[in-house]
Structure 1
Amino acid sequence: MANTPRLSKTNTPQDQRPVIVQILPALGRGGVERGTIEMAQAIEKAGGRAVVISAGGPLERHIVRCGATHHTLPVNVKNPLKWGSIRRRLQKILQDEDADIVHVRSRAPAWIALPVAKTLRIPTVSTVHGRFQAHSIFKRIYNGKIIKVDHVIAISKYVKQLITSQFVGVEERMTVIHRGVDVDVFDPQAVNQTRIINFADSVALPEEMPVVMLPARPTLWKGHEILLDALALIKDMPFICLFVGAADGKQAFIDRISRHGTDLGLEGRFRLSHAVDDMPAALMVADVVVMPSITPEPFGRISLEAQAMGRPVVAFDHGGAVESIKHGQTGWLATPGDAESLADCIRQALELQGSNRQVLADKSRTHIERNFSTTRMCNETVKIYRRILQKSQLANTG
């Protein structure tokens, strides 16, 4: 990774690399997991040694592939009665790996790992990926554990505001590091026609039909229903709506979305498909990518990926989306919860033609390259690791 800050220990043999341990619940297919893999790669390239601890999952192979080490441990367990035995096993792993920093990425791992790190006097970092909302004193206590570290990383200014509005004294040890996208992978020039055709065929997309795409987990707060409400208001336009990932949901979810679309008169104009491995190719078929989350996104990585591919993006004007989309330049921000406003923005995106569409694509691509690349995200995180290592070494030699 170009210009990556270097990680090193002082007064140690040259082959003794700093060991950074990231701990997350599991290695499924999500933004937290991808960010963990990207950081493992960055740690290795920066001269450190990356260790990941999780309950395992389909992305585990990517950890090993980048030269990092993975330990399978049920750090996703939320039952406090089971934490004692997990902590004992975790302590042995941290000691055997000679860990220099423990980086927790979720609340359950924080409750399990932070007491162990404190016992072993290992500096700690956390990343807050979620909305950090608490509706009871018990949830507030549960949430608060993840900020009891030496340094807190918030993935957006929105998440930082949520944390600082609830907890005092954390701001001075908090940094906002926006999540990033791999601009080499998410590059329209890197996606050949065969990949695009293969994706289009896999979901049976009709030819020459504008595509409105919502790539999201199969959960109602992602806004599937309000998108259908908006599309019903622009039925005079040609389009096919593709809900990528929705077909992975429970049958009740699938039935509800399908029934809602049919009731609105959109039968035959929307499709529910499974999640895809080749997201860059999937985005290439989209004429507009919509992120209509009805509650604010902590950040919203799909908007970065879409903009990197030069696709117009429409989202509601709240949460982390505000920080990544430049209204009127790289996409549109609709009035939150307003189907008419959402429909108007989607109409504008679908009406973009020729040179105007290309201007938006170029602006979007440049915007992501300058501000939201994986390289930038990883470098800023490595700088935090380096400062903590230097402070720890000074403390140990002082």
Structure 2
Amino acid sequence: MRVAYLDHTARWSGGEVALYNLITNFGKEIDPLVIVAEEGALVDRLRAKGIDVRVLPLSDKVRNRNRNAVNFQAVSAALELWSYGKRVAKLLKAEKVACVHTNSLKSAFYGAVAAKWAGIPLIWHIRDHIGVPYLKPVVAQAIRLMSRLLPNGVIANSNSTLSALNLPKSKKTLVVYSAFANSKAKRPSLIEKTWRKPYVVLLVGRLAEWKGQHILLEAAKSFLPDEQVHFWLAGDALFGEDAYKKQLLQQIADNQLNNVTLLGHVEDIQGLMQKADLLVHTSITPEPFGQVIVEGMAAGLPVIASNEGGPTETVVHGETGLLITPGKPAVLADAIRYLLEHPEERRRMSENGIKRVEQHFVIERTVTQITHYYAGFIANS
């Protein structure tokens, strides 16, 4: 089955990592064609795996346009996306693609044009929370309306993401988690693991205000001048978020947070997690899924996460970690302190987290769900 995967960006971010994990684990049933609007890490990594990747450049002003920008330039951007979609359609026809699977909101729009012109079914894979405050109300409403009208089917990365779309029951939908772990992958040995001071509290994610890194920095203040707890922030500003990165650096300087280290982009996240004691996830708006949470549990880390959105479907409160109210540094600090002071709880949560990943978040399960969805979807289109 020839399936085209569309993405407007090739930057190594959550949605692109999930797409890579999916495509590189398909069996012979799926023949993937990946069409990306720019060169980048995703393209390089897929090509290294022998995946057929085509780069059809899209202008930076459209590709990097803010999701909430509602102004006169929106018309010209829409026209360019329409024209770009027609270019993609030509490639889809030439490659005899059976269906189109979009991986981002921008690609969902030009993918709709491409699929229509090529006369083939369209699947939207929604990986964002379609609601405020992540999106302006008018933008969220527009996307919800288009999700009813444009795609033939919708895949969501969590029940929370699907619920935010408010789709009718008649819409062919699928909730499938963005798993990464292979069922045969070696898991960390907790028998050998020791927690030694200084403890390392790790946060992984691109630097963006809604990801809440500033909340962790505020919580880190309460651990000064104690030098037995270190805070590592892995990730960088990717989508026009340089101002937020500067804000974080200023916050560290103003509060003399010598217990905090900004690591920037880290290639080997699993290796980094082996050096940590806790994983925290501090999104202040509902996280669509939170793939890094699953990675942390697979690495044997207890997880502290916000009790909204996707994390409520991955973390079992009191069993694999703690779910806390987002945006409250004091609550986060108390949760961190509790787990660091209770090693028996950390070990129990570590063991439960590894088991939960093996039961619910292995890549084979994700591949099987999507492959079956394709088969039924195309048969009924």
Structure 1: how far apart are the matches of 2:237 and 2:356? Answer: 32
Partner of 2:74: none
Structure 2: how far apart are the matches of 1:186 and 1:292? Answer: 28
RMSD after superposition:
2.6
- After TM superposition, give the deviation of residue 70 of structure 1 in Å: 1.0
Partner of 1:317: 307
Offset from partner CA, 1:269-305 (integer Å, 9 cap, x none): 1111111111100011111111011111111111110
| Structure 2 residues not aligned, in runs of 5+ | 66-76
Partner of 1:177: 176
Q: 1:251/1:89 Cα in 2 relative to 1: closer, same or farther (>3 Å)?
A: closer
- The answer to whether the 8 Å contact 1:333/1:345 transfers is no
For 1:371, give the aligned amino acid.
H
Secondary structure at 1:122 match in 2: coil
Aligned residue-pair number: 354
Q: 1:305/1:170 Cα in 2 relative to 1: closer, same or farther (>3 Å)?
A: same
2:262 paired with 1:272: yes
Q: 1:252/1:137 Cα in 2 relative to 1: closer, same or farther (>3 Å)?
A: closer
- After TM superposition, give the deviation of residue 363 of structure 1 in Å: 0.9
- After TM superposition, give the deviation of residue 263 of structure 1 in Å: 4.0
Partner of 1:225: 214
Structure 2: how far apart are the matches of 1:88 and 1:276? Answer: 37
- Give the counterpart of 2:371 among 382, 386, 393: 382
Q: 1:171/1:74 Cα in 2 relative to 1: closer, same or farther (>3 Å)?
A: farther
2:106 paired with 1:117: no
Partner of 2:91: 93
For 1:292, give the aligned amino acid.
T
Structure 2: how far apart are the matches of 1:70 and 1:146? Answer: 26
Partner of 2:152: 150
- The answer to whether the 8 Å contact 1:244/1:273 transfers is yes
- The answer to whether the 8 Å contact 1:247/1:273 transfers is no
Structure 1: how far apart are the matches of 2:185 and 2:271? Answer: 9
2:281 paired with 1:299: no
- After TM superposition, give the deviation of residue 21 of structure 1 in Å: 0.6
Partner of 1:106: 104
Q: 1:106/1:208 Cα in 2 relative to 1: closer, same or farther (>3 Å)?
A: same
TM-score (normalizing by structure 2): 0.84
Offset from partner CA, 1:215-270 (integer Å, 9 cap, x none): 11111221122112222234475201111124879664344223323444x53111
Q: 1:385/1:42 Cα in 2 relative to 1: closer, same or farther (>3 Å)?
A: farther
- The answer to whether the 8 Å contact 2:179/2:362 transfers is yes
For 1:35, give the aligned amino acid.
A
For 2:372, give the aligned amino acid.
K
For 1:351, give the aligned amino acid.
E
Structure with higher Rg: it is 1
Structure 1: how far apart are the matches of 2:184 and 2:56? Answer: 31
- The answer to whether the 8 Å contact 1:241/1:269 transfers is yes
Q: 1:231/1:187 Cα in 2 relative to 1: closer, same or farther (>3 Å)?
A: farther
- The answer to whether the 8 Å contact 2:144/2:165 transfers is no
TM-score (normalizing by structure 1): 0.81
- Give the counterpart of 2:9 among 26, 50, 53: 26
For 2:108, give the aligned amino acid.
A
| Structure 1 residues not aligned, in runs of 5+ | 1-17, 194-206, 393-398
